[in-house]
Amino acid sequence: MVATQPFQRIVAAEIDGRCQNIRYRQNQFHFLQSALVQNIEQIKEAIAADSGNSPEEVRAEICLAFKEIRTHYASLDLKKDLEEEYRVANGKDNHDGKRGVGIVYIVPSSHTMFFSVVAALSAAIAAGNCVILELTKNTMAIPVVLKKILPQTLDADTFAISEERPDNTFLSRTHIIAQSDSITPSNNTLSSPTTARTVAIVDRTANISAAAEALVSARFAFGGRSAYSPDVVLVQEFAMKEFVEAIIQRSSKYLAGQNGDARQTAVNPRRTSSGVSLLDTAFKDASARVIVSGSEWGVVEVHDRKSPLLQKKVSEKVLVLHPVTSLDDAIDFSTSMGTLAATYAFSAPAAAKYLTQFIDAYTSYINHVPVDILIGPAYPINQQPSRETRYSTRSLQVPRPQFVMETSNTALVQEIIKGYASKSNDALREALVPLPAIGQRSGKAIGFFEQGIITGGVITLFTFVASISTMGIYGYAAVRRWRG
């Protein structure tokens, strides 16, 4: 464990509230953006060396990281900030008053680390916090680059890098952004799920071609290491043949890329496991069928739900398919995996609504996979996801409202306890008045199940009527022949 001594400047800056000044935060953003731009080539090379990702994927990570900086910077509004600060002086309530949590301690993910660091750092600065970034010693290239750039760029009183984790006493006074599973979640932690699985469901009502294209990209992009890459695709059994054909076509096209076999042969030396790969396991699994495969990638269909291929999170370029008999079957199997990181439902809107309503997932997406979420850590489980940035500034702030005006409740209680008989009696009578009627109309809407029941009933009734009619016709003819 390291002593807290290296962070005394950080603690002092937190106490004097230096980061609460909006001009100070704006300047820090300018310093950060300028320094990263000046070192962009080093950053590109480091990302490529660490990840083995294609040049297009490296560029996408960089662009998204800079967009995080720009978006959080744009949220700093001096005019609005001053208006909120002087509300009390002007005799108004500052009901949405807030400030930064103080010190934010960032434990970044190794997956697309540059974006992961920038997303957390920019949100913490925008929220008005001091920041400590944990970059432990390892063989990765991007931490070396960040250690060179950030300390020379940001104010040493409000930013520091830690190569070792501080003791729990110090961590307890910080707000932790945990992008990896190396920190136990607590009340002061924004935790991204790292072991929760991601499931896609493809119903027969789906656009099969579009679903195949989206899921191939989601599984194979960024080395297949994203928390939001689908760990298993549950395919309605009647749609499996068409879906497999579409998957084979899209896989070959995607992995070939613009340079023939460029994507297919890209190997990440820093991430390659020395153990048995998932694809090797699939070849040995009697319940699995390897549909198509190449250099470190494959598409596998698994039939046995007890297969080890369906028991863990996938971090390779292997797309696992599994047939299901119905929407309910898909829901039951998905639910057995616990709370999911995400669900992708490819189906007609009514079926998608049913699936995402009853599958427990932190987020659900209908008929698309937002490729931007494949970059960086998963959204924290204890904050409302933001579609613009990975972390919202509100999740790194604490409410500090200031009230000038009394409420009607205050006036009510004052009148009652002061013993004003007439007002007290009036208040009691008003409190005991029955609640307004619900106003609910009699149920006439036809839901998903009701529609199925009605359809089945109509078919049964039609069959019954047709049978009786046929029997009547033949019976009438037989009677006529008998009488004749």
**Sign, Cα dihedral of 20, 26, 32, 33:** positive
Report pLDDT for 153: 96
Domain check: are 172 and 217 in the same one? no
Report pLDDT for 266: 45
Report pLDDT for 283: 86
Report pLDDT for 186: 75
Domain check: are 12 and 139 in the same one? yes
Phi/psi of residue 191, each to 5°? -105, 130
Q: Which of 137, 171, 192 is the C-terminal boundary of a domain?
A: 192
Domain check: are 56 and 90 in the same one? yes
The whole-angstrom separation of Cα 301 and Cα 292 is 10
Report pLDDT for 52: 92
Domain check: are 137 and 202 in the same one? no
Q: Which two tokens stand for residue 129?
A: 């916090």
Domain check: are 132 and 237 in the same one? no
DSSP annotation of 222 reads G
Kindly state the helix (H) or strand (E) to which residue 425 belongs, with its residue range. Answer: helix 421-431
Report pLDDT for 191: 92
Domain check: are 140 and 233 in the same one? no
Q: Which of 143, 176, 192 is the C-terminal boundary of a domain?
A: 192
Domain check: are 205 and 282 in the same one? yes
DSSP annotation of 323 reads E
* Total domain count, the chain: 2
Domain check: are 15 and 109 in the same one? yes
Residue 175 belongs to a domain with what CATH number? Answer: 3.40.605.10
Q: For residue 189, what are the CA distances in angstroms to 126, 164, 183, 186, 192?
A: 18, 18, 9, 5, 9
Report pLDDT for 214: 96
The whole-angstrom separation of Cα 211 and Cα 197 is 19
Q: Which of 150, 170, 192 is the C-terminal boundary of a domain?
A: 192
User: Does residue 326 form part of some domain?
Assistant: yes
Domain check: are 333 and 233 in the same one? yes
Residue 294 belongs to a domain with what CATH number? Answer: 3.40.309.10
Domain check: are 24 and 142 in the same one? yes
Report pLDDT for 471: 67
Q: Which two tokens stand for residue 125?
A: 């600065």
User: Does residue 388 form part of some domain?
Assistant: no
SS3 of 299, please? strand
Report pLDDT for 478: 60
User: Does residue 291 form part of some domain?
Assistant: yes
User: Does residue 249 form part of some domain?
Assistant: yes
Q: How confident is the prediction along the chain (484 residues), in pLDDT tens digits per residue?
A: 444 456 999 999 999 999 999 999 999 999 999 999 999 999 999 999 999 999 999 999 999 999 999 999 999 999 999 998 899 999 999 998 999 999 999 999 999 999 999 999 999 999 999 999 999 999 999 999 999 999 999 999 999 999 999 988 899 999 999 998 777 767 789 999 999 999 999 999 999 999 999 999 999 999 999 999 999 999 999 999 999 999 999 887 766 654 444 444 444 544 444 567 888 888 888 888 999 988 888 999 999 999 999 998 999 999 999 999 999 999 999 999 999 999 999 999 999 999 999 999 999 999 999 999 999 999 999 888 888 999 999 999 999 999 999 898 888 888 888 776 677 788 888 889 999 988 877 655 555 556 666 666 666 666 666 667 666 666 656 656 666 5
53-60 long-range Cβ contacts below 8 angstroms, 24+ apart:
53/222, 53/223, 53/266, 53/268, 54/257, 54/262, 54/263, 54/266, 57/221, 57/222, 60/375
Q: Which domain holds residue 338?
A: 198-255+278-371
Domain check: are 299 and 364 in the same one? yes
**Do the Cβ atoms of 113 and 86 come closer than 8 Å?**
no
Report pLDDT for 364: 97
The whole-angstrom separation of Cα 256 and Cα 120 is 34
User: Does residue 420 form part of some domain?
Assistant: no
Q: Which distant-in-sequence residues (6+ apart) come within 8 Å of 104 by Cβ? A: 120, 124, 127, 129, 130, 131, 132, 174, 175, 176, 177, 396
Domain check: are 341 and 250 in the same one? yes
